[in-house]
Structure 1
Amino acid sequence: MIKPPWYPQTPSSTSCVAASGNARGRSVWLNATRLKLSLLSLALLGSALLSVSAPATAAQSYSAPLHQTLESVLETPRPPIERWTDHQWRSTMATRLSRYVDDPDRRLRLLDRIQQEARLAGLSPGIVMAVIQVESAFQPNAVSSAGARGLMQVMPFWVEALGRPDDNLFDPLLNLRYGCTILAHYLAVEDGDLTRALARYNGSRGKTWYPERVMRAWRQHWWLSP
């Protein structure tokens, strides 16, 4: 398999232990407080998130204000070859996603949003797909035992940390914006090491079981050869 440049090397057990050092035993809330101090870097990575308005009603699957925040991405001219590649990716992924999402229109709409949000955050859309598969199996109303919500299982403390208590994490597009922005933030914190960034995203820093699970899902279901 040809590995993309950002494909992570699994850290050794020694480095994992060192990485987890002071973090062991700390609560998620303490970690969230520390991350709040680095809000500037998070805002720079996902400034559009901070301008997002909460959906008008819970029944709206994709809120208009969120769509407006994508204008800078949608209006950026892209070479024809990239547009063709995006179309091919969506067509291929639509078939694979059918095992999770029955409705064809919803599949294409979701894939389009995932592609846009991934590009906005500088992430691989395949990795975002793998995270969603592992986190929620593409169920927008999923809730974990720890209280994480939505497609990318975003913890509620994030809306408080970002000063947006009215945000609805069950809104699919809003959840994608949060999840992609948070993962991009962790990727920056870890200097591009996707293994460590994924571990942070899951709250299991210093361990590799979650990154390995995501990468396995990516390789088996969402990876396309160049």
Structure 2
Amino acid sequence: MSVGSLFPLFMNSVVRRALWATGLLAASWSTAWAGAQIEEPLADSVRSALSAAVGRGEPPKLVFADEAQRQQCARWTQAQEARLRKRKPEELVRHEFLNTVCYEAKRAGLEPSLVLGLIQVESGFRKHAISHAGARGYMQIMPFWSRTIGNGDASTLFHMQTNIRFGCVILRHYLDREKGNLFMALGRYNGSRGRAEYPNMVTAAARVWRNQDAAATRLAEGSANVQKVSYTQP
């Protein structure tokens, strides 16, 4: 089952309306809902796979698989830019951010709009956000991940490309752990596994982003739906 096909299971229109009515979804633009991923023992094979996926050298660069993938992300980026303008008024910064989200999401076999929704809820699009638990950056990565699968330098988690790569790789790992159950994977990502509030907020936010420009978004996200990416399972 694709990541995209899981959305209807966890966020129907009634729940979305309730979130908007209570102000929770709107509040996520300004208030980070970051939790704390729990440090768990990793098998050597899993640690090696995750380390290889994030890389240990310089900040990752965007190397698209082909011209078609580059154009897909370009269309998706263009479709999302207007809504993000207030949060990121500088055009080049905004474009680079969105293009990176699309690239890293597709690299991990995730929907770009899911990653964008997670960033909205986790950090409110604040590059240098730090949670009460010490999670860092856009995707609120706990420092232990830099020791476990990175180069040991937690300060690099404030680098945009590094942070988004870690976040996408970690979410992919949790999806693998939960056998594709997005609800449980999001809860594990936030440190609130089994509770509904956080997964519901992320999936609601993701749905809004996905609907910004349905045609362009489908073109960009369609290929992610058929990828069989797994960093931690054969």
Query: Do they superpose with TM above 0.5?
Result: yes
In the alignment, which residue of structure 2 is the partner of 1:20?
A: none
Contact conserved, 1:46 with 1:121, CA < 8 A, in 2? no
The one-letter code of the counterpart of 2:45 is L
The one-letter code of the counterpart of 1:89 is W
TM-score, length-normalised on structure 2? 0.71
In the alignment, which residue of structure 1 is the partner of 2:40?
A: 33
Contact conserved, 2:51 with 2:149, CA < 8 A, in 1? no
In the alignment, which residue of structure 2 is the partner of 1:48?
A: 53
- SS for the counterpart of 1:188 is helix
Q: Does 1:161 align with 2:148?
A: yes
In the alignment, which residue of structure 2 is the partner of 1:77?
A: 66
In the alignment, which residue of structure 2 is the partner of 1:9?
A: 9
**Which runs of 5 or more residues in structure 1 are unaligned?**
12-27, 55-62
Contact conserved, 2:50 with 2:149, CA < 8 A, in 1? no
Mapping of residues 108-187 of structure 1, within 5 Å: 108-162=95-149, 164-167=151-154, 168-187=156-175
- SS for the counterpart of 2:205 is helix
Q: Which has the larger radius of gyration?
A: 1
Q: 1:98-136 CA deviation, whole Å, 9 max, x = no partner?
A: 121110110101111111111111110000000111111
Contact conserved, 2:123 with 2:137, CA < 8 A, in 1? yes
Structure with greater contact order relative to length (CA < 8 Å, sep ≥ 6): 2
Q: Once the 2 structures are TM-superposed, how far is the Cα of residue 92 of structure 1 from its aligned partner?
A: 1.1
Q: Once the 2 structures are TM-superposed, how far is the Cα of residue 52 of structure 1 from its aligned partner?
A: 2.9
In the alignment, which residue of structure 1 is the partner of 2:229?
A: none
Q: Once the 2 structures are TM-superposed, how far is the Cα of residue 45 of structure 1 from its aligned partner?
A: 5.8
Alpha-carbon distance in structure 2 between the residues aligned to 1:195 and 1:183: 11
Alpha-carbon distance in structure 2 between the residues aligned to 1:44 and 1:160: 15
In the alignment, which residue of structure 2 is the partner of 1:200?
A: 188
The one-letter code of the counterpart of 1:181 is V
Contact conserved, 1:154 with 1:175, CA < 8 A, in 2? yes
- SS for the counterpart of 2:40 is helix
In the alignment, which residue of structure 2 is the partner of 1:57?
A: none
The one-letter code of the counterpart of 1:99 is K
TM-score, length-normalised on structure 1? 0.74
- C-alpha distance 222-10 of structure 1, shift in aligned 2 (>3 A): closer
- C-alpha distance 162-5 of structure 1, shift in aligned 2 (>3 A): same
Alignment RMSD (CA, Å): 2.5
Q: Once the 2 structures are TM-superposed, how far is the Cα of residue 44 of structure 1 from its aligned partner?
A: 3.4
- C-alpha distance 4-123 of structure 1, shift in aligned 2 (>3 A): closer
- SS for the counterpart of 1:191 is coil
- C-alpha distance 105-45 of structure 1, shift in aligned 2 (>3 A): same
Which consecutive aligned stretches of 4+ in structure 1 deviate over 6 angstroms post-superposition?
none
Q: Once the 2 structures are TM-superposed, how far is the Cα of residue 150 of structure 1 from its aligned partner?
A: 0.4
The one-letter code of the counterpart of 1:155 is M
Contact conserved, 1:113 with 1:173, CA < 8 A, in 2? yes
**Which runs of 5 or more residues in structure 2 are unaligned?**
12-35, 219-234
The one-letter code of the counterpart of 1:40 is S
